[in-house]
Amino acid sequence: MARLILWRGVLTHEQALKFQYTLGPNVHRNPYHIQVIRLQLTRNLGALYPILRDEIVTAFEEILDLKENEWKSVPALDVIRKVISRTSNRAFVGLPLCRNPDWIRLNIQFTFEAITGGVIIGLFPGFLAPLVARFMTTVPGSVRRAMEHLAPMIEQRQKCYEQYGDAWADKPNDLLSWLMDEAKGSERTVKSLTQRVLAVNFVALHTSSNNFTQALYHLAANPQYMQPLREEVDSILATEGWSKGGVAKMYKIDSFLKESQRMEGISSLNVARKVMKDFSFSDGRVIPKGTIIAVATKATHFDNDNYENADTFDPFRFANMREQEGGGANRHMIATNPEYMAFGHGKNACPGRFFASNELKSMLAHIVASYDVKLEDGASTRPESVWVGAVMAANPNAKVMFRMRAH
Q: What strand order describes the sheet that includes 72-75?
A: 72-75, 399-404, 371-375
pLDDT of residue 7: 44
Distance in angstroms (rounded) separating the CA atoms of residues 111 and 115 = 6
Do 69 and 406 touch, CB atoms closer than 8 A?
yes
The radius of gyration computed from the CA coordinates of the chain, to the nearest angstrom, equals: 22
pLDDT of residue 368: 98
User: Which of 373, 69, 328 shows the shortest CA–CA distance to 227?
Assistant: 373
Q: Return the amino acid letter for 250.
A: M
Do 179 and 197 touch, CB atoms closer than 8 A?
yes
What angle is formed at CA 145 by the lines to CA 140 and CA 146, rounded to 5 degrees?
95
Distance in angstroms (rounded) separating the CA atoms of residues 63 and 65 = 6
Residues of the chain with confidence (pLDDT) below 70: 1-20, 118-119, 326-331
**pLDDT tens readout for residues 185-214:** 999 999 999 999 999 998 889 899 999 999
Q: Is the dihedral of CA 10, 11, 12, 17 positive or negative?
A: negative
Q: Return the amino acid letter for 239.
A: T
Do 44 and 173 touch, CB atoms closer than 8 A?
yes
pLDDT of residue 333: 83
DSSP 37: I
pLDDT of residue 335: 83
Query: In 3-state terms, what secondary structure has residue 3?
Result: coil
Distance in angstroms (rounded) separating the CA atoms of residues 54 and 58 = 6
Distance in angstroms (rounded) separating the CA atoms of residues 369 and 253 = 12
| Residues spanned by the domain of 360 | 4-404
pLDDT of residue 28: 74
By residue count, the chain amounts to: 407
Do 195 and 188 touch, CB atoms closer than 8 A?
no
Total number of domains in the chain: 1
pLDDT of residue 329: 56
Q: Is the dihedral of CA 54, 58, 64, 66 positive or negative?
A: positive
CB atoms within 10 A of CB 406: 7
**pLDDT tens readout for residues 352-393:** 999 999 999 999 999 999 999 999 987 889 999 998 778 888
Distance in angstroms (rounded) separating the CA atoms of residues 320 and 308 = 12
Query: In 3-state terms, what secondary structure has residue 78?
Result: helix
Torsion of CA 215, 216, 218, 219, to 10 degrees: 120
- CATH code of the domain covering residue 182: 1.10.630.10
Distance in angstroms (rounded) separating the CA atoms of residues 169 and 179 = 18
